Every structure is written in C-alpha cells, then in structure tokens.
C-alpha cells in the first residue's frame, strides 16, 4: 500500500528555506574559487601586448621609460607579470582616444529578455569585463532579485547584501540618487549595485506609489536615479530579471541601448515576440500617450548558446534574421561548456587564467565575446559622437 505523503506545511517550507540557505552559505567556498573570494586574473607580457595592441619593442620601451606600471619579473627574470589594475592602466593610456570624450555621458545598456536562462546575466558580466579591458569604467546594476550577477561578483545576495544597498530604496523613494548603493568589485574598472531577494518588493512599492500619485512616473525612477552616475562612468550595464516587471521596465526606460540575448531555438524565438509586443504596448501607454518621448540608440539581438551541431538551430536562425533583420549582431556566442568552467563554477572567459585558456572550445568562446564587445564598443562610441553633435 502506498502511504499518503505527509502534507507540507508552511512551517516546513520555512525550515527547508533555512536549510537550503545554510547549505549555500557553507558551499560558497566551492562555488566562488579561490578562497571563496573572487580574484581578477594576472597577465603576462604577451597578453598585455594583445590587450594594448603594442608590439614587444613598444612594451619594452615603455617599461624602460618607466611611465607605466612595470609589473614584476619572476624569479628567473624570464617572465613579467602584471596585475589587472596595472594592465588597465596601460590600456587607458594607450587607448585614450577610444575612451569617453570629455563632455559625453555614459551610455546605459540593459540586457533583457523575459525568457529565463537565455544568458542575460552571463552577457552582462562578460560585456562589463570586456569593456573594462578596453579601458572603460563600467557600473553594473543588478536589477534581478535572484541576484545571479551579484553572485558572479562573489557576493551572496542575502547574507552579504542588505536590501538597503540595492536599487530598492530608489524605488521606495527613500533615496533619489544611486550613489549610496555603488560598491567596488574584485575587478578593477567595474563597480556594482548588488541585488538581494527583497528587491522583489519593488513590484508592490512602485504600483502602490503610482496609485497614490497619478503624476508619479514609476517607469522613470531608475532613469533619474542613475543620472549622477552617467557622469562618473563610461558605460552603465543593467541586468534584468526574466520578467517584464516594473523593475525591468525601469531598466529599459533608463537605457540608451538594449541587448537581447536569444538562443536560436523555436520557443525562445516565439517568446521574444511577446517581449517586444508587451514592451511596445506598455511604452505606448506609459510614455507616448502622455506626450513623452523615448528613443534608443540601438537594439541588438545577440545569438547566444548557439549549438552548430543542432540542425534545428539553422532554420530558427533564419527566422530570427527575417524577424529582426539588421538588429541581429553579426556574431554568435557558441554553446560552450568552457565558459561555465572557467574560474570554478562561476566565471566567464575573462575570469579564466589564460594559462588554462588553450582549448579550442574556450578560444572560440573567447573570440566570439571579443567580437561582441567590440561591436558594443563601436555603438557606444557612435553614441558619444552623437551626444557631442559630431
Ligand atoms: N555560451 C554558453 N554556453 C552554454 N551555457 C552557457 C553559456 N552562457 C551561459 N551559459 C549558462 O547558461 C545558464 C543561464 O545563463 P544566465 O544565468 O546568464 O542566463 P539568464 O538569462 O541571466 O538567466 P535568468 O533568466 O535566470 O536571469 C547558466 O548556467 C550559464 O552558466
Ligand atoms: Mg540572469
């Protein structure tokens, strides 16, 4: 005889939640290598050359000249090692003409798609790292109560991030400018506004404020809140939750550009149509019907998790290009186990120590991301030029 399973009470769910939380806290060391704190990689001379575009004699010349960080020689004097801040110092010097011109403001880019698991968070982090390695200063804002991006930065959303240090106080009106929530990260050139699960309450706070005050514009809170940061950073990247929520609408309306990662499979493609449909309805209702305006500098579709062995993906890619035409970026991020195995479980191609970056899968993923970052940098520079009327 099958005995009926015991009903699960709310108390039991509470106990289970505590248990899972405590296991996550215990295994954080294993999830966030090394020593449970993430570390930026170090670079040798050939990697410095690749990142700066200098040749060996130019690097040697600048080292002799001594106006840039000289790194450290190993014990035999055969190899030089640079820290990540040192490498960025070189890059910002060599690429100074590629950086945000005086008088221009940061570009704000949201990564969005209400389908879950399409690589929004991975895209946001990889893009932040890639842009920082081109010399830009990046602020990333985690708008997802799941806090996956926060976790990728080596912080556990609830035990290490207080909800008062997320975007929530902006939404509730307790704060009006994002500065209070900005923290440095393990990665030079990237600052973070972290998330915690209570950020979820934004979904109640914003509509409640809207119904009390018809003049309130719930969709513009983040937009106004990040204004001061637009002068302090070159790029502001916002990771969004897999929902077209009040928070996501704030992220999209605060942005100059939108990137939608889209794996070429039929379900993800179909749901992307709903995303744009809903987004268009909402923005028309909220903005256009009130006489407001909103323009985006670009909307990019990024083909992600592309499995070239999957026959079906070929025709879905054709549908995607028929539907999104010139909005599809000319690059594909391959489906690659390597991108999730670099630096323990949580890391990107840029986190990986270049020493173990020699496999073919890794190289393909790395090169695809480099091309992606380059395409976004091009659009960012065009945005700055337009701002300056050039
Ligand atoms: N190129 C890739 N190939 C294979 N797996 C990948 C790739 N990029 C990311 N992943 C993995 O896919 C999963 C989902 O990625 P990610 O968390 O970035 O998606 P997401 O859209 O942010 O998800 P969510 O909707 O939950 O926020 C993760 O386990 C991630 O490690
Ligand atoms: Mg995510």
Q: What is the pLDDT of residues 298-314, one digit of tens each?
A: 999 999 999 988 888 88
Q: In this structure, what is the dihedral angle of CA atoms 135, 178, 249, 285, given to the nearest 10 degrees?
A: -120
Angle between helices 266-286 and 311-324 (to 10 degrees): 20
Both 58 and 186 in one domain: the answer is no
- CB contact at 8 A, 341 and 318: no
Q: Say yes or no: 58 and 190 in one domain.
A: no
In this structure, is residue 35 part of a structural domain?
no
Distance between terminal CA atoms of the chain? 79
Higher pLDDT, 363 or 369: 369
**Residue 56, domain member (yes or no):** yes
Q: Which atom of ligand 1 is nearest to the CA of 117?
A: 23
Query: Same domain for 67 and 142?
Result: no
How does residue 362 score in pLDDT terms, banded at 50, 70 and 90? confident
State which of 31, 121, 141 you would mutate to test the pocket of ligand 1, scoring each by most atoms of that ligand within 8 A of its C-beta.
121
Instruction: Categorize the per-residue pLDDT at 94 as very low, low, confident or very high, splitting at 50, 70 and 90.
Output: very high
- pLDDT for 122-149, tens place per residue? 999 999 999 999 999 999 999 999 999 9
Q: Are residues 181 and 86 in the same domain?
A: no
Q: Are residues 147 and 216 in the same domain?
A: yes
Sheet strands side by side (includes 235-239): 182-184, 190-193, 138-142, 235-239, 107-111, 257-262, 298-306, 328-334
In a domain, 158, yes or no: yes
Per the CB < 8 A criterion, the answer to whether 245 and 203 are in contact is yes
Contact 208, 258 (CB under 8 A): no
DSSP classification of residue 219? G
d(CA 265, CA 316): 6
Q: Would the CB of 380 count as within 6 Å of ligand 1?
A: no
Measured in whole angstroms, the distance separating CA 57 from the mean position of its chain's CA atoms is 36
Q: Count the domains in the chain.
A: 2
Spatial strand order in the sheet of 80-82:
43-44, 80-82, 72-73
pLDDT of residue 32: 54
Instruction: Indicate whether residue 305 lines ligand 1 (CB < 6 A).
Output: yes
d(C-alpha 124, C-alpha 112), whole Å: 10
Query: Is there a single domain that holds both residue 158 and residue 47?
Result: no
Provide the pLDDT for residue 363. 85
179 within 8 A of 186, measured Cβ to Cβ: no
* 309 falls within a domain: yes
Contacts of 125 (CB under 8 A, 6+ apart): 140, 149, 152, 153, 239, 348
The verdict on residue 8 lying in a domain is: no
**Residue 188 Cα to ligand 1 middle (Å):** 24
pLDDT band at 157 (very low <50, low <70, confident <90, very high): confident
pLDDT tens for 186-242 read 999 999 999 999 999 999 999 999 999 988 999 999 999 999 999 999 999 999 999
Q: Please say whether the beta carbons of 351 and 366 come within 8 A.
A: no
Residues 129 and 71 in one domain: no
- Residue-level pLDDT at 353: 58
Mutate to test the pocket of ligand 1, among 112, 119, 271 (most ligand atoms within 8 A of CB): 119
Contacts of 316 (CB under 8 A, 6+ apart): 264, 265, 266, 269
Rounded to the nearest angstrom, the distance between the alpha carbon of 148 and the centre of ligand 2 is 6
Q: What is the radius of gyration, based on Cα positions, of the chain?
A: 22
CATH number at residue 154: 3.40.50.300
Q: Do 246 and 172 reside in the same domain of the chain? A: yes
pLDDT reported for residue 291: 75
Whether 117 lines ligand 1, by a CB cut-off of 6 Å, is: yes
- Among residues 64, 94, 124, the one where a domain terminates is 94
In-domain check, residue 364:
yes
Of residues 78 and 144, more confidence is placed in 144
Nearest ligand to residue 113 Cα: 1
Which pLDDT score, from 0 to 100, does residue 2 have? 60
Percentage of the chain exceeding pLDDT 90:
67
User: How does DSSP classify residue 176?
Assistant: S
Residues 6+ positions from 190 with CB-CB distance below 8 Å: 128, 129, 132, 138, 139, 140
Find out whether 327 and 300 touch, Cβ atoms under 8 Å.
Answer: yes
Q: Are residues 187 and 319 in the same domain?
A: yes
Domain residues for 47? 43-94
Q: Which of 94, 115, 137 is the last residue of a domain?
A: 94
- Grouping H, G, I as helix, E, B as strand and the rest as coil, residue 239 is strand
Q: Which protein residue has the closest C-alpha to ligand 1 atom 4?
A: 335
Cα–Cα dist 124/47, whole Å: 23
Q: Model confidence over 166-188: pLDDT tens digits?
A: 999 999 999 999 999 999 999 99
Distance from the CA of 95 to the center of ligand 1, in angstroms? 31
Kindly provide the residue ranges of all beta strands, DSSP E only, lying in the chain, ordered along the sequence: 43-44, 72-73, 80-82, 107-111, 138-142, 182-184, 190-193, 235-239, 257-262, 298-306, 328-334
Q: Are residues 82 and 207 in the same domain?
A: no
Contact 90, 237 (CB under 8 A): no
CB 198 within 8 A of CB 95: no
Of the candidates 155, 243, 154, the one whose C-alpha atom is nearest the C-alpha of residue 196 is: 155
Q: 148: how many CB neighbours lie within 10 A of its CB?
A: 19
- The total number of residues shown for the chain amounts to 390
Is residue 36 in some structural domain? no
**Ligand 2 centroid to 376 CA: how many Å?**
19
Is 100 close to ligand 1, i.e. is its CB under 6 Å away? no
Assess whether the previous peptide bond of 34 is cis (omega < 30° from 0): yes
pLDDT in tens, 335-360: 986 555 444 456 788 887 555 556 77
Q: Please indicate, yes or no, if residue 29 is contained in any of the structural domains.
A: no
Helix, strand or coil, per DSSP, at residue 332: strand
| Together in a domain, 74 and 112 | no
Residue nearest to atom 3 of ligand 1 (CA): 335
- If asked whether residues 59 and 196 sit together in one domain, one would say no
């Amino acid at each position: 005889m099958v005995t009926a399973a015991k009903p699960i009470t709310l108390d039991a769910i509470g106990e289970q939640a505590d248990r899972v939380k405590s296991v996550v806290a215990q295994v954080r060391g294993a999830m966030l290598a090394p020593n449970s704190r993430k570390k930026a990689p170090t670079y040798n001379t050939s990697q410095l050359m690749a990142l700066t575009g200098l040749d060996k004699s130019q690097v040697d010349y600048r080292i002799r000249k001594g106006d840039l960080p000289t790194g450290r020689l190993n014990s035999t004097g055969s190899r030089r090692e640079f820290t990540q801040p040192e490498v960025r110092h070189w890059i910002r010097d060599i690429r100074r003409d590629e950086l945000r011109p005086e008088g221009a403001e940061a570009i704000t880019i949201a990564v969005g798609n209400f389908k879950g698991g399409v690589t929004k968070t991975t895209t946001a982090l990889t893009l932040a790292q890639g842009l920082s390695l081109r010399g830009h200063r990046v602020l990333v804002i985690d708008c997802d109560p799941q806090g996956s991006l926060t976790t990728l930065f080596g912080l556990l959303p609830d035990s290490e991030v207080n909800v008062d240090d997320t975007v929530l106080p902006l939404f509730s009106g307790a704060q009006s400018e994002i500065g209070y929530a900005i923290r440095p990260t393990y990665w030079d050139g990237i600052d973070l506004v972290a998330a915690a699960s209570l950020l979820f309450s934004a979904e109640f706070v914003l509509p409640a404020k809207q119904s009390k005050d018809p003049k309130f514009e719930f969709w513009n809170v983040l937009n106004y809140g990040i204004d001061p940061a637009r002068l302090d950073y070159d790029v502001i990247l916002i990771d969004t939750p897999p929902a077209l929520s009040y928070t996501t609408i704030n992220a999209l309306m605060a942005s100059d550009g939108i990137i939608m990662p889209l794996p070429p499979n039929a379900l993800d493609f179909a749901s992307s149509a709903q995303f744009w449909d809903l987004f268009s309805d909402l923005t028309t209702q909220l903005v256009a019907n009130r006489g407001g305006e909103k323009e985006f500098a670009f909307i990019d579709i990024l083909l992600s998790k592309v499995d070239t062995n999957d026959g079906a993906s070929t025709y879905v890619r054709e549908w995607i290009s028929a539907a999104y035409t010139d909005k599809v970026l000319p690059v594909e991020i391959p489906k690659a186990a390597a991108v999730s195995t670099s630096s323990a479980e949580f890391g990107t191609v840029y986190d990986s120590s270049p020493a173990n970056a020699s496999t073919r899968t890794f190289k393909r993923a790395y090169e695809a991301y480099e091309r992606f970052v380059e395409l976004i940098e091009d659009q960012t520079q065009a945005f700055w030029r337009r701002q300056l009327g050039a």
